[in-house]
Structure 1
Amino acid sequence: MTASLPLGPVLRHVGPTTATVWVQASEAGRVRVVADGGVTGVAETFTVHGHHYAVCEITGLPSGAALPYEVFLNEARVWPEPGSTLPPSTLRTIDPDAPTRLLYGSCHTPTGDTPEGVVRYGPDMLRATARRLAREPVEGNLTLLLIGDQVYADEIQESMRAFLRAHRARTGEDGPEDEVVHYSEYAELYRQAWSDPQVRWLLSTVPTLMVFDDHDIRDDWNTSAAWRRSMDGHPWWRARVTSGLGAYWVYQHLGNLSPDERAADPLWALVRAARIDAGAEVDAFALRAHEEPGSYRWSHRHDVGGIRVLMLDTRCGRALGEGDPSDGSRSILGREGHAWLDEHLTGGPEHVVVVSTVPVVLPPAVHHLEAWNEAVCAGAWGGWPRRPAERLRQALDLEHWGAFRYSFERLADTLGRVARGERGPAPATILLLSGDVHFSYTAPVRHREVGEDGSRIVQLVSSPLCNRLPENFRGVVRLSASAPVHLVGRFMTWLARVPRPSLRWRLSSDLYFGNTIGEVSFAGRDVRARWYHVAEGGPDALPVVRTRVDL
């Protein structure tokens, strides 16, 4: 078999003089990344359930570099692929003094921009972004943040269904016919999501940081304790969550880590020490991470010049107690996650970016509905309404920050103290970047105890990359953002004795339901937000700016 890369190269964590390149290889052996100027990174592959991977650390790079590179597997050149018409892939390091841009988005269904795919899901904004960046110079520090639902394990395309049928007939493994369960099925799911030539080139040349949301594992993952109990009743769920978290660690999380963080990761040491296949070690780790959420930290921090980026795990680490909403037994981050955020959400940087896959602030009526529902589920109206309230929570996906009052108020308190300069010099802005909800908007946020001289706090949402909301759901979302429904929500929370939130916000832009990718540009203390979309044209159309906001 000819040596090749089923996936990758993917440019992941970068520093001023270092770059990390992740690959999936067709065979075991040695992977070399060779950049212009002769700088080389070498790594031996590791194997998980029969699939081979390597993480190459390239050191000694100049600050602010953009160096074309090649990849070799056992001395055979496997990247770039012959005949590619795209520009060379480049290693990009951070220049601490250069301007910084963050691209961000979530919810990506791979369609290749086929006619039928565009009709149902809309144009693919990862492919469109690749076309844009292939045609224009990339200046300064550019990072892509993929903030959830990089793969859909429970809403699969026909090509994935065909793979499941063939794979299960061959191996005897079982599971739902329309959902991924086993590790090799996840490997194929990632291959189909990331092997499009344009997406593959984009990931090979723009440093990318990732974090999961629910569909990476399953829709509404960890909505509540009742949801967990329901899923535990499925005979395939244990294998599913084990495979999903293990695959996430391999395909997404490993590349988020700096060389020092990876060296300190206990699973990385076990994987590297495994003689033949580390599948058992990865499975044991993943199952423990599911059963003991505090046993591993999925959140990660990155500093780029004067910008601090905090990527939050708002899924796996949730605490799902069923007591008083204010006592911390139920939280969106869990005890360890809140402690980590308290440690890193401080003043000092010029700008602080908190990345939460689910928005911190939603249309106010939705926030009130979630807060009311949480209170009723906890017994605010007595015992008999708790069960129908739980059914409503799962049916309407009421599981964002508003449905975790303890977490919302704890974050709000920290945001207020940072904005007032009580946790170090107040940043110019605190940005909350999110996706998940399949519509995009801006929401200026103010803490009740922060004056005009405090940090600007803004929620920015960009979603989806490729999975636009069907028309029949859009009217409901628009209604939820209306003033009359907001008042109804306020009244319901009053009836459930839910205290008013300490944050105030409003949606300042029209809701946009098309596929989009957000961009935030930093220049000194100024910030500009843009949302790109494809207005018209075929699979070669370039994205254009739909909305621009100076913050």
Structure 2
Amino acid sequence: MLRYVGETSATIWCETDRSCTVTILGRSTPTFSVHGHHYALVVVRDLEPCSVVDYEVELDGVTCWPPTDWPFPSSCIRTLGGDGPTRILFGSCRAAAPHEPPYSLEPGRDPRQRGVDAFRAHGVRMRDQAIDDWPDLMVFLGDQVYADDPSPGVRRLMRRRRRRGRETAPADIAANFEEYAALYCESWTPDVERWMFSVLPSTMIFDDHDVIDDWNISRRWVDEIRETPWWEQHIIAALVSYWIYQHAGNLSPDRLDDEAMLAELTAAGDGAPVLSEWARRSEEFTPVPGGYPFSYVRDLGDTRLIVIDSRNGRDLDPGRRRMVGVDEWEWICDQARGADGHLVLATSLPIFVPGGVHGLQQWNERLCDGAWGRGAARASEWLRRALDLEDWPAFGRSFTDVIDLLTELTSRERGCDSITVIAGDIHFSYVAEVDVRGDSTTRVHQVVSSPIRNALRLRERLVLRFAVSRVGRAIGSWLERRVDRDVRTARWELTDGPLFNNGMGQLTFDGPTADLELERASADSDGAATLSTTIAKRLTG
């Protein structure tokens, strides 16, 4: 998997079936092992800016990638540094399932139906495209795997292990590292996906289903789940596998050097004790600020992408809840202030939610904090979990922090060319234009693209359509006023959507202009995955 790519360096992630030395473009590194699995992250430096370099993967001197008779274009690294447009492909919520009926059919009464995988559809199209038309980066905004809704193959593995009495975790939740590794393997190794990962750099951030539904939704939730006998093993496996499969590749070579975790794992050979202790400390101090910061930044020419951890770094103490701890938020603000061209803020959870959902979440947080007494607080905690009331408005202080940051950025004499928030999680897509009443001409948008493959069924769609309707909005506003939360320094309106299909979005930045395209995944008459445009618009000017 090609992960980080800059102007002169890149990282390539590999999983092998045994301990060995991995060599790519003359750079070699030994693997490290975790619970019988073997990994390497190869750092390639001294590349030429704005170049295209084909690569192969050697294991102990034997070429093992690409496979013989591979029917796809060569794996390559395209370094940054050119004057052409920058394209960022993004989306969230990708459930793993076979790419055949009934799994590939649009969701109906059969729970196996997931629809067409938009990520795979992009790979099918890319195979026939000119390389200059490919995206420059893929951003996965959460739920890359569903640890609590596994694919059919992994579900069978889990059931076999439960019958043998090896695990105490619930039957439908990944219990250990072996089961997490199986989730990633099934999701990422089909041929189209495997090739796509080998040619497109990718960044990722977790959401709740990468760990478990409602992860860190409240302090009470954390206290309750820590009392279960299976939680410690589960969360350690979740965080260890996340660092290996997702997070290490998010980091630049310089940050990898600064953190020194990769070097420590490679030196140790057996990385399980090192990563398990790191995960235990990370979970122990979650959600108290000061733990490991999972947020990170990538620069693509004059476009700055800041990926925000909105799950693991929360402060959940009632009365002072924050989506992101104070120190990490200040780091995010500093990175945003350094953006000169286009700024993209990526978060798994939407900041600007439509209709009455905003007011409902603000009202619910106040009641959970005790505004109407203990009885209402208990009922509101139940409602919070039942309705997944955990977007940014459910963390009122952090929502205000975002507005303050956007107001500051749009009040500068020389503002950004554009500011775009990209998000996922909620299983429908939309575009909102945001007015934070700054003084510059910088336009602010939020684009939600969800799901890649996990479309809602009709009943769930009807509920959400009501929530975003005028009636739903009026109810939400009334609830806000009931708890004195109706003071807003920003306004936002949906300009497009909601859309409930599987799909992905793409941002294109070319000089001072920014364009958006959302595409829907479906099957053609032969059953092949295809894409069609649902929204196309300019975000600047």
In which range does the TM-score fall when normalised by the shorter chain?
Answer: over 0.9
Counterpart CA distance in 2 for 1:269 and 1:88 is 30
Residues 16 and 96 in structure 1, CA contact (< 8 A), matched pair in contact too: no
Residues 292-326 of structure 1 deviation map (CA, whole Å, 9 limit, x = unaligned): 14221100001111100000000000110112xxx
Match of 1:545 in 2: 533
Match of 1:181 in 2: 175
Residue 350 of structure 2, aligned match among 347, 351, 359 = 359
Match of 1:288 in 2: 281
2:418 maps to 1:429? yes
2:451 maps to 1:461? no
Match of 1:62 in 2: 48
Counterpart CA distance in 2 for 1:434 and 1:492 is 25
Residues 436-475 of structure 1 deviation map (CA, whole Å, 9 limit, x = unaligned): 111000000011x324x43111000111111111111001
Aligned-pair CA distance for 1:535: 4.1
2:525 maps to 1:532? no
Matches within 5 A, 1:101-180: 101-119=87-105, 120-139=113-132, 142-167=136-161, 172-180=166-174
Counterpart CA distance in 1 for 2:334 and 2:497 is 35
Match of 2:373 in 1: 382
Counterpart of 2:123 in structure 1: which amino acid?
Answer: A
- Which ranges in structure 2 are unaligned for 5 or more consecutive residues? 106-112
Match of 1:71 in 2: 57
Match of 1:349 in 2: 340
Match of 1:4 in 2: none
Match of 2:36 in 1: 50
Residues 477 and 486 in structure 2, CA contact (< 8 A), matched pair in contact too: no
Counterpart CA distance in 2 for 1:536 and 1:242 is 39
Residues 325-379 of structure 1 deviation map (CA, whole Å, 9 limit, x = unaligned): xxxx210112232122122121542110000111111113101100000011112
Counterpart of 1:401 in structure 2: which amino acid?
Answer: W
Residues 213-264 of structure 1 deviation map (CA, whole Å, 9 limit, x = unaligned): 1111011110001111221122111111111011100111101111111111
2:482 maps to 1:491? no
Matches within 5 A, 1:476-515: 476-515=463-502
Residues 151 and 183 in structure 2, CA contact (< 8 A), matched pair in contact too: no
Aligned-pair CA distance for 1:112: 3.3
Aligned-pair CA distance for 1:175: 2.1
Counterpart CA distance in 2 for 1:539 and 1:345 is 44
Aligned-pair CA distance for 1:169: 5.8
Residues 143 and 207 in structure 2, CA contact (< 8 A), matched pair in contact too: yes
Residues 113 and 539 in structure 1, CA contact (< 8 A), matched pair in contact too: no
Aligned-pair CA distance for 1:210: 0.8
Matches within 5 A, 1:204-243: 204-243=198-237
Aligned-pair CA distance for 1:499: 3.9
Cα gap change, 1:277 to 1:168, in 2 (>3 Å): farther
Counterpart of 2:507 in structure 1: which amino acid?
Answer: V
Equivalent position SS for 1:458? strand
Residue identity over aligned pairs, in percent, reads 34
Residues 105 and 147 in structure 1, CA contact (< 8 A), matched pair in contact too: yes
Residues 381 and 496 in structure 1, CA contact (< 8 A), matched pair in contact too: no
TM-score normalised by structure 2 residue count: 0.94
Residues 115 and 522 in structure 2, CA contact (< 8 A), matched pair in contact too: no
Equivalent position SS for 1:545? strand
Number of equivalenced pairs: 527
Counterpart CA distance in 1 for 2:282 and 2:332 is 19
Equivalent position SS for 1:385? helix
Counterpart of 1:450 in structure 2: which amino acid?
Answer: G
2:9 maps to 1:18? yes
Match of 2:300 in 1: 304
Counterpart of 1:12 in structure 2: which amino acid?
Answer: R
2:424 maps to 1:407? no
Counterpart of 2:49 in structure 1: which amino acid?
Answer: S
Equivalent position SS for 1:116? coil
Match of 1:330 in 2: 321
Residue 27 of structure 2, aligned match among 41, 47, 57 = 41
Which one is further off, 479-488 or 165-174?
165-174
Counterpart CA distance in 1 for 2:59 and 2:143 is 30
Counterpart of 1:320 in structure 2: which amino acid?
Answer: L
State the Cα RMSD in Å: 1.6
Which one is further off, 405-414 or 164-173?
164-173
Counterpart CA distance in 1 for 2:165 and 2:55 is 38
Aligned-pair CA distance for 1:95: 1.9
Residues 372 and 496 in structure 1, CA contact (< 8 A), matched pair in contact too: yes
Aligned-pair CA distance for 1:96: 4.6
Residues 120 and 529 in structure 2, CA contact (< 8 A), matched pair in contact too: no
Residues 347 and 421 in structure 1, CA contact (< 8 A), matched pair in contact too: no
Counterpart CA distance in 2 for 1:104 and 1:348 is 20
Residues 360 and 479 in structure 2, CA contact (< 8 A), matched pair in contact too: yes
Counterpart CA distance in 2 for 1:22 and 1:534 is 28
Residue 29 of structure 1, aligned match among 20, 24, 29 = 20
2:180 maps to 1:191? no
Match of 1:7 in 2: none
Counterpart CA distance in 1 for 2:483 and 2:329 is 26
Counterpart CA distance in 2 for 1:49 and 1:339 is 37
